[in-house]
Amino acid sequence: MLKFLKYPAIMLGMVAPPLWAQAGAGAPGEPLSTVPLTDSGDTAWVLACTLLVLSAVMSGTVLRVGSLVRSRNSVSVSVQAVLVVALTCIVWIILGYSLAFDVGTPDAPSGTSWLGGARNFLLNNLSELRIDLTIPESSFVIFQFSVALFAPLLLTGVWAERVRLAWMMAFVPLWVLAGYAPVAHWLFADGWLAASGGVDSGGGLVVHTMAGVSALAVALMLKGRNSRATPATPASSPMLMIVGSLLLAVAQFAVYGGIAFEANDAASSALINAFSALSAGIIGASLVAALHRQPLSARLMTQGMLSGLAAIGAGVGYVAPGGALLLGLIGGLACQLVITQFERRFLLDDPGNIFAIHGVGGIIGALTFPVFVDSHFGGGGFDRGTSMATMLGAQAFATGVVVLWAAFVTFAIGYGLTLALPMRVSAEDEARGLDTSTHGEKAWEFE
């Protein structure tokens, strides 16, 4: 297993309570050292990060994706994003959290290494203190919901302008339960992938790779738009796209900072790594543009920024800032190469470039970050008995599993739903624009 760089504890759901959090009055005759207490500072930090994630990811998605599509589809994208939030929240409360994170207690284990139990159905039986953490389980629930919300919201960027609303509303809850929740359990809740050596400290696999690969599957199922829109179609509002992208970056910062579940050096180091990767991602994308003699557009810049953040996801808790810079640079380069050499060449219609940004970024970061854990790159090094080669192998296996699971679940749910619900709107409705054909209103009314 890896050594955390300056991180006394950051592993998701596996943070050991500090000694100073154990002092307090207990039951008569009970040793004071065994009484678990919440830490108000850690709880406040996690809740602040949660509020920042929720507010920024929702508004950022609406602004970014809404400005990438043509103006006659902006309302539809916004409505879809709001519905995704509502559906994911309902599913998370009913069963999603339980399937992802119900491991029971040391005295009464629940679930398996493959899937959580049903003890937290409807959020029942929440503990006053999340196991091995210093925050209430209710705080853990809402933070993990904000992380879980990221993935389905990203998918609104791939099916824009042509998906039928009923199909989307059926797809999202099934995908969260069958796709996201099991993978979150495998890696975030000490499931079988984590036990086999797979590491994902910030969502590079669970969020970015799952969403990115699923976006590729959705794009293949839906096929391209009937209009003249292509993967290279310019944004309808570059200014709003920049604002939306910056909000998504803020949301990602809050995820990486809060996922330590403690207000300490681990959180601040993760934020430094995140900003380092973001900056290097912009430079990486800019280099590709220069090599292809393209202008440095706002869209290209934001693609590099977000791909850098996706690339640092899996290793945000393990690498030093120097390694984060290199990961971000690789992510930015890879993202642009995929867009220019793959998406445009094969006319893959992914309006938000979700696969190129989040899928490729997440995969590249998960596969390569063990290299930058090495002390030569300023990393904390490896524990005795673990080498770079074994970690690279474990990451390759975990990445392959997540990629295959994301593709399988997305194709199975997507095509399965088409037996009862059409996937696409009619050609006539698509030509009119979903704002008027589906929602009966326009994004902008000028008199």
In this prediction, residue 3 has a pLDDT band, given cuts at 50, 70 and 90, of: very low
Residue 344, pLDDT score? 72
Q: Is 385 left (phi over 0), alpha (psi -120 to 50) or beta?
A: left
**Spatial separation of the C-alpha atoms in residues 351 and 232, rounded to whole Å:** 9
Name which of 37, 26, 36, 78 is nearest 442 in CA terms: 78
Domain boundaries, the chain: 38-424
Q: Could you identify the residue written with the tokens 């993967």?
A: 231
- Quote the pTM value: 0.90
Q: Which CATH architecture has domain 38-424?
A: Orthogonal Bundle (1.10)
Residue 23 pLDDT greater than 70, yes or no: no
Among 133-137, 256-260, 290-294, the minimum mean pLDDT is found in 290-294
User: How high is the pLDDT of residue 384?
Assistant: 75
Residue 342: pLDDT band with limits 50, 70, 90: confident
For the beta carbon of residue 151, count every other beta carbon within 10 angstroms. 28
Q: What is the pLDDT of residue 26?
A: 40
Tens-place pLDDT, residues 58-109: 999 999 999 999 889 999 999 999 999 999 999 999 999 999 999 987 777 8
**Residue 28 vs residue 434, higher pLDDT:** 434
Overall average pLDDT of the 21-42 stretch = 55
Residue found under tokens 């970061």: 365
Q: What percent of the chain has pLDDT over 70?
A: 89
- Which pLDDT value is given to residue 377? 83
Question: pLDDT at position 378, please?
Answer: 82
Q: Model confidence at 233, in pLDDT bands (50, 70, 90)?
A: low
For residue 313, the Cα-to-chain-centroid distance in whole angstroms is 8
Mean pLDDT score of the chain: 88
Query: CA-CA distance, 201 to 296, in Å (whole number)?
Result: 32
Between 248 and 132, name the one with better pLDDT.
248
Return the pLDDT at 229: 57
CB proximity list for 272: less than 8 A, separation 6 or greater: 321, 324
Higher pLDDT, 382 or 13: 382
| Nearest partner of 9 among 370, 260, 316, 375, judged by Cα | 260
The answer, yes or no, to whether residue 257 has pLDDT greater than 50, is yes
Residue 108 confidence (pLDDT)? 79
Task: Kindly tell me if the per-residue pLDDT of 394 is higher than 80.
Answer: yes
- Check whether 17 has a pLDDT greater than 60: no
List, in order, residues 6 or more apart from 172 with CB less than 8 Å away. 83, 84, 87, 88, 91, 152, 155
How many CB atoms neighbour CB 247 within 10 A?
20
Over residues 281-310, mean pLDDT: 93
**In this predicted structure, what is the pLDDT of residue 4?**
42
Q: Give yes or no for residue 12 having a pLDDT over 80.
A: no
Choose between 181 and 229: higher pLDDT: 181
Q: For the chain, what's the residue count?
A: 447
The whole-number pLDDT of residue 447 equals 52
